Amino acid sequence: MYAAISAETRGRYVHIGGDEVFGMAAAPFAAAVRLARTAVRAAGRAPVGWQEAARAGSGPGDVSQFRVDARMAGLPTTREEYEARPQFAAAGLTADLVRRLSAHFGPADEDLARAVEGCGSVLLSPQSHLYLDRPYDPAEVPAPYRDRVSRLGSPT
């Protein structure tokens, strides 16, 4: 797959992903990331992975794309916080699902350090401020468009 992608593109980098790993144990995830990096390098390209890929180790040729800081994501971490923010339940997100999302994103707090310690490069794109599936801060939206803000993004 990575050879085919590399053959169809001219850029130096191929993004290997690595963020859709709900429920995957650490060892098979790390093995999959290493396999993807090896395939991309064999195709003559440099691998870029979402920050979670740094959990498989990071070296001088690796690029980790930093996208989420668990604290910036603003997920409730206790039952009381969940209940105090009814927009999660209104969006169909149960307390258990929010708990599992928090557990999934919890290790993200160390991903940046993992990438830097391994001498890899980091591409900063923190989704908590830029991701299109997040509601906009009404104070940042021009006045004529503020009525539309409530219809955009996931609840925070």
Give 48's contacts (C-beta < 8 A, 6+ positions apart).
13, 14, 15, 16, 63, 64, 65, 123
Higher pLDDT, 124 or 28: 28
Residues forming a β-bridge with 65:
50, 123
Chain-wide mean pLDDT for the chain? 79
Whether 70 shows a pLDDT value over 70: the answer reads no
Higher pLDDT, 133 or 96: 96
Q: Is the pTM of this model over 0.75?
A: no
pLDDT for residue 156: 47
For residues 116 and 60, give the distance between their C-alpha atoms in angstroms, rounded to a whole number: 9
pLDDT digits (tens, 9 = 90+) for 9-61: 888 899 988 777 767 888 998 999 999 999 999 999 999 988 888 888 888 88
pLDDT for residue 10: 82
Decide: helix, strand or coil at residue 20. Answer: coil
Whether 155 shows a pLDDT value over 90: the answer reads no
